Structure 1
């Protein structure tokens, strides 16, 4: 295979962005050959905008049976991700899927099983993993420079969204349309990084989700969660779409120091000796380990979405290791499902979660969803239509 022929499914905001850099030739070894969007009006406009080498489809089966794609990039509403990925694998196609992996872990597990059975390349569009700052932080943790993790705090409240944003699409902020709010739409990147940076998943979680606290919506727009780990570490995750100005601050403490990521900077305070060693040997009254603020070199640039797509193509053509294996998408989703389930049960939730119980509660929410029938302020670039 000289070039990977890519077909994009869903040409809203994200799909349009992916199509743009692919058509410009920014991805070595890849060529855009097809687009699938089930909105007839949008499809007709796409035919006028894309090159004659790109075929536009409105019929899903015709797209998959066309024989003109080797891989698909899925950029549709969340509920469709699993179904489309599984269908792609069944047609022998490689899959790159936008975040989140899906709405509930039960469907994502089926997607992972289909991927394993197909033996095709499967990747997730977790573009924040290309950020050199987070890559360096992960390196500090994985190599032991921070020591054993003791505490994680992530305050991510700069996801401000107005009521007009939610009113711009009938599917937005509804259980039937999105399957969640800030946890499923805005925060999946942080939920993925949370587990990717540390390499750990919590053993149990207690969360408090507020539904429609700041906006006239039915899903969560304010969340505070507390998690515990097998090694005794704890974590607090706070997010909302209703505060301005917001904050994005990640603090991770280990027994060898502390790292803070905020305002695009990484600050590392390193203990001269590990805290347990100091505590064991110190005989005075008041005292604390000697601490150095270390300047950590951050090299490289964030390649974002195009970087993930290039990595995906390289994995297909050259066997390059994936930065964002698709099978890992279930981990961040498990965290968000656990937060919602804990709130619905008003109790602790053990991880891995009871997938059938979560699915039961979600179906109840969907059955009573007030998904708006009238879509206000429609534009051709509104995401969520495919």
Structure 2
């Protein structure tokens, strides 16, 4: 088995999740941590016995022993770091959102096209969770009949202090948006994973409860038309004090209906009653991976599974389960929603 040497660039809240996911993988070592705040990197390095720390990611890219980097910085810097890493021959794992501008997304994809032998993946860990894979198979195998509509809601709370603790959060320049690009992007990605590509969007956003603290939206409503003809809706807010984290989907088909709350089916019905019983049992039999202790509970258990898949892709010269191109599609969807709200028009993807 090929030994893989990794580095983590960015030592904020998501970095320990990447580090602990790496630690689970045999024949893998973490050689470097990088953060603009050296104290952050050194504290994390001491916790996990990682030998090297730096404030300059370029120093990591110059190390010939490094095979793969995890990019865990603010959204805007993802493109610059990813492009440089690919140019230096490093495999790249990039956290969501892939980046916050159309030009940045294109630059990342272009850099990967020039180095197709490298693995480039964007983190959308919920695609790797057993219940979501099972639901996707149900949808794609036609068990719901013709899908007519789908909907998504995300209700959560982000306090003023949350935004004030990191200067890049809640800014158009560095985060690229608010509740949609950050808290809701994984759920939006699952809409594409479940139902396929989206043809056009119409959106409207506002900042209802964080005025004077953030520039970006804390609430958004979106209408979607999928390429398959499905009609969908999305509502999301980070201003909910009564429900600090809850998400859910509804799926309406000609033969079946489901409410899917926090990745668990809360209501299921099919015209074929025997199918209903089977689906309920199959969901209960799905083995759920526990979230890492260092992770927030709503991250789910998918990070270790996705990162393990990426390392296996590196070792075996194959495409990862979640490609950079797939992650780019969701980032472009987010940007299209923002464009629609600004222009007051439907935007085609």
| TM-score over 0.5 for the pair | yes
Q: Does 1:99 pair with 2:96?
A: yes
- The answer as to whether partners of 2:79 and 2:98 remain within 8 angstroms in 1 is yes
List gaps (5 residues or longer) in structure 1. Answer: 273-289, 353-386
The alignment partner of 1:2 has SS state of coil
Q: Does 1:222 pair with 2:222?
A: no
> Which residue does the alignment assign to 1:257?
256
> Which residue does the alignment assign to 2:141?
143
The alignment partner of 1:294 has SS state of helix
Question: What is the CA–CA distance in structure 1 between the aligned matches of 2:223 and 2:134, rounded to whole Å?
Answer: 25
Q: Does 1:300 pair with 2:287?
A: yes
- The answer as to whether partners of 2:250 and 2:259 remain within 8 angstroms in 1 is yes
- CA 34–117 in structure 1, closer or farther in 2 if over 3 Å, else same: same
Q: Does 1:114 pair with 2:111?
A: yes
Q: Does 1:207 pair with 2:200?
A: no
> Which residue does the alignment assign to 1:379?
none
Superposition map of 1:263-274 within 5 A? 263-266=262-265, 267-272=267-272
Question: What is the CA–CA distance in structure 2 between the aligned matches of 1:30 and 1:265, rounded to whole Å?
Answer: 33
> Which residue does the alignment assign to 1:371?
none
The alignment partner of 2:183 has SS state of coil
- CA 263–340 in structure 1, closer or farther in 2 if over 3 Å, else same: closer
Question: What is the CA–CA distance in structure 2 between the aligned matches of 1:77 and 1:39, rounded to whole Å?
Answer: 13
How far the C-alpha of 1:265 sits from its partner, in A, is 2.1
- CA 327–292 in structure 1, closer or farther in 2 if over 3 Å, else same: closer
- The answer as to whether partners of 2:21 and 2:303 remain within 8 angstroms in 1 is no
Superposition map of 1:157-306 within 5 A? 157=155, 159-201=156-198, 203-210=199-206, 212-216=207-211, 217-246=214-243, 247-266=246-265, 267-272=267-272, 293-296=276-279, 297-298=282-283, 299-302=286-289, 303-306=301-304
Q: Does 1:83 pair with 2:70?
A: no
- The answer as to whether partners of 2:132 and 2:263 remain within 8 angstroms in 1 is no
> Which residue does the alignment assign to 1:41?
39
The alignment partner of 1:68 has SS state of coil
**What TM-score comes out, normalization by structure 1 length?**
0.79
Moved more, 308-317 or 26-35: 26-35
- The answer as to whether partners of 1:73 and 1:96 remain within 8 angstroms in 2 is yes
- The answer as to whether partners of 2:5 and 2:65 remain within 8 angstroms in 1 is yes
> Which residue does the alignment assign to 1:279?
none
List gaps (5 residues or longer) in structure 2. Answer: 290-300
Question: What is the CA–CA distance in structure 2 between the aligned matches of 1:43 and 1:250, rounded to whole Å?
Answer: 38
- CA 104–291 in structure 1, closer or farther in 2 if over 3 Å, else same: farther
Larger radius of gyration: 1
- The answer as to whether partners of 1:154 and 1:237 remain within 8 angstroms in 2 is yes
- The answer as to whether partners of 1:46 and 1:56 remain within 8 angstroms in 2 is no
The alignment partner of 1:293 has SS state of helix
> Which residue does the alignment assign to 1:7?
7
The alignment partner of 1:72 has SS state of strand
- CA 344–9 in structure 1, closer or farther in 2 if over 3 Å, else same: same
- The answer as to whether partners of 1:105 and 1:330 remain within 8 angstroms in 2 is no
Question: What is the CA–CA distance in structure 2 between the aligned matches of 1:347 and 1:128, rounded to whole Å?
Answer: 31
How far the C-alpha of 1:89 sits from its partner, in A, is 0.8
Query: Higher relative CO (CA 8 A, sep ≥ 6), structure 1 or 2?
Result: 1
- The answer as to whether partners of 2:122 and 2:327 remain within 8 angstroms in 1 is yes
Question: What is the CA–CA distance in structure 1 between the aligned matches of 2:41 and 2:230, rounded to whole Å?
Answer: 51
- CA 292–18 in structure 1, closer or farther in 2 if over 3 Å, else same: closer
How far the C-alpha of 1:321 sits from its partner, in A, is 5.3
1:327 aligned to which of 320, 325, 328: 325
Q: Does 1:62 pair with 2:62?
A: no
How far the C-alpha of 1:242 sits from its partner, in A, is 0.7
